[in-house]
Structure 1
Amino acid sequence: MTEQLAPMPADWRRALAVVAHPDDMEYGAAAAVATWTGGGREVAYLLATRGEAGIDTVPPAEAAPLREREQLAGAAEVGVSVVEFLDHRDGVIEYGPALRRDIAAAIRRHRPELVITLNHHDTWGGTAWNTPDHRAVGRAAIDAAADAGNRWIFPELADQGIEPWDGVRWVAVAASPRPTHAVDVTEGRERALRSLLEHRGYIEALTDEDPEAYARAFLDRGTEATAPAFGGRPAVAFELFAR
């Protein structure tokens, strides 16, 4: 990351984060959320799945409620009290009109100025391949930001009383290999650490390392890697699309 990153816009009050799985926000972007909510902004979370296919040693029927509880607790640590689940199938989310409609409906209800999502590109950079769920939800979130404002796309939503909202000004993509902007998360890092640690069931199935050591190392790597492109400050980077 050699290009200098611009500061994220600050003239907004409401954001909606749209991701595929429990823990997607906690692996980095939650530090920005903690910073924003700490400054009085409102952030809500929308998850396409309950993460039921995410733990190899736990059957989906048991994993879903576990990961839902972990997500609610993790969100609370960074000041997010509204968390919604769409119940698309974990691991096989399909990009298409159904997913776009579900996200557009949530955007219309929450009326955010900023939509946040996770990397929609094919890779994390280089040859580190991204997952189908991340790609599908990221792309659908970007598209749904426009869909939400057009009453003739998914007109059935208006028939249900979910009126168009054309107030999304930006879509910010976390963990993109093509970042353009960043947020100083000096104030939000410890809350983000606690947020990620709420996913203890997931982390303990993922690694034999001590959960706190694992989580702190992961988050520090990300914020410190961004720092040289953002005035030396620990930061979370985003690829920002303006509308």
Structure 2
Amino acid sequence: MPTDWRRALAIVAHPDDLEYGASAAIATWTDEGREIGYLLATVGEAGIDGIAPAECGPLRVREQRASAAEVGVTSVEFLGYPDGVIEYGTALRRDFAAAIRRHRPELVITLNHHDTWGGTAWNTPDHRAVGRAVLDAVGDAGNRWIFPELAEEGLSPWDGVRHVAVAGSPHPTHAVDASAGAERAVRSLLAHRTYIEALTDEDPERYCRTFLDGMMAAAGRRFGGRPAVAFEVFSH
């Protein structure tokens, strides 16, 4: 995994998107003194069937902030797009480009933008729209003639993004040793307790540990044998 960066911005659709895989790597990176911020397109208000959106949204925001803190991330922002019906387009690209210009990262992290998770496991519309808009917004952020109003708002172009790392991709190219961050990754996913309790009847901690251990072991078999978090990395 490239290490020529000090500052990263993770842009995903929902609370828990980063915790289902990337957080062990993020814990490792924050241990190294790297600065990482989170930007979420939605507050995940449509994610729990038994809780109405007006109640669910604030609850999931609280859980996401607690989850981020477990891996050393204190900057967590929400754009407030409607959960489940995000549309790819220039508005989304503009908001992501603005965030990239504001945070000025060398690494951008997002979640799988492909149609599937591999095989016949279909990806969700929000993940596809957000992931593709993130990849496009990296170029938008560095071009002064795309969304010129951003410069007028004080957000000057930023072409310093060197890499985009896509978590959960069915086409991984790089990996991060997850050994040091594995326990904090479990705690980070477990912080989404209300969501997990609605998702499964299994003990929440057992569920989190089983899922993450399996995912990191599977990645490790492809990348050197140690527990790992895999990414598809695009360089700029």
| Shift, 1:66, TM fit | 0.3
Which of these residues, 34, 59, 74, is aligned with residue 41 of structure 1?
Answer: 34
Corresponding residue number in structure 2 for 1:50: 43
Asked if 1:198 is matched to 2:191, the reply is: yes
Q: How is 1:7-86 mapped onto 2 (pairs within 5 angstroms)?
A: 8-86=1-79
Deviations 1:122-156 (A, max 9, x none): 00000000000000000000000110000110001
Asked if 1:183 is matched to 2:170, the reply is: no
Asked if 1:165 is matched to 2:158, the reply is: yes
Aligned length: 236
Whole-angstrom CA distance in 2 between matches of 1:229 and 1:83? 32
The residue type equivalent to 2:89 in the other structure is G
Runs of 4 or more consecutive aligned structure 1 residues displaced over 2 Å after TM superposition: none
Unaligned runs of 5+ in 1: 1-7
Which of these residues, 92, 97, 105, is aligned with residue 98 of structure 2?
Answer: 105
Deviations 1:149-198 (A, max 9, x none): 00110001001111110000010000000000000010000011110010
| Shift, 1:11, TM fit | 1.5
Deviations 1:5-62 (A, max 9, x none): xxx1012100000000000000110111001001110110000000000000000000
Whole-angstrom CA distance in 2 between matches of 1:185 and 1:10? 15
The residue type equivalent to 1:11 in the other structure is D
Asked if 1:131 is matched to 2:132, the reply is: no
Corresponding residue number in structure 2 for 1:3: none
The residue type equivalent to 2:39 in the other structure is L
- TM-score (normalizing by structure 2): 0.99
| Shift, 1:228, TM fit | 1.5
The residue type equivalent to 1:91 in the other structure is G
Whole-angstrom CA distance in 1 between matches of 2:169 and 2:223? 16
Whole-angstrom CA distance in 1 between matches of 2:222 and 2:210? 20
- 1:66 is paired with a residue whose SS is helix
Percent same amino acid at aligned positions? 76
- 1:148 is paired with a residue whose SS is helix
CA RMSD of aligned residues (A): 0.5
Unaligned runs of 5+ in 2: none
- TM-score (normalizing by structure 1): 0.97
Q: How is 1:212-223 mapped onto 2 (pairs within 5 angstroms)?
A: 212-223=205-216
Whole-angstrom CA distance in 2 between matches of 1:178 and 1:104? 25
- 1:151 is paired with a residue whose SS is coil
| Shift, 1:231, TM fit | 1.2
Whole-angstrom CA distance in 2 between matches of 1:10 and 1:164? 23
Whole-angstrom CA distance in 2 between matches of 1:34 and 1:108? 24
The residue type equivalent to 1:208 in the other structure is D
Whole-angstrom CA distance in 2 between matches of 1:25 and 1:236? 11
Whole-angstrom CA distance in 2 between matches of 1:38 and 1:185? 12
| Shift, 1:229, TM fit | 1.5
Asked if 1:239 is matched to 2:236, the reply is: no
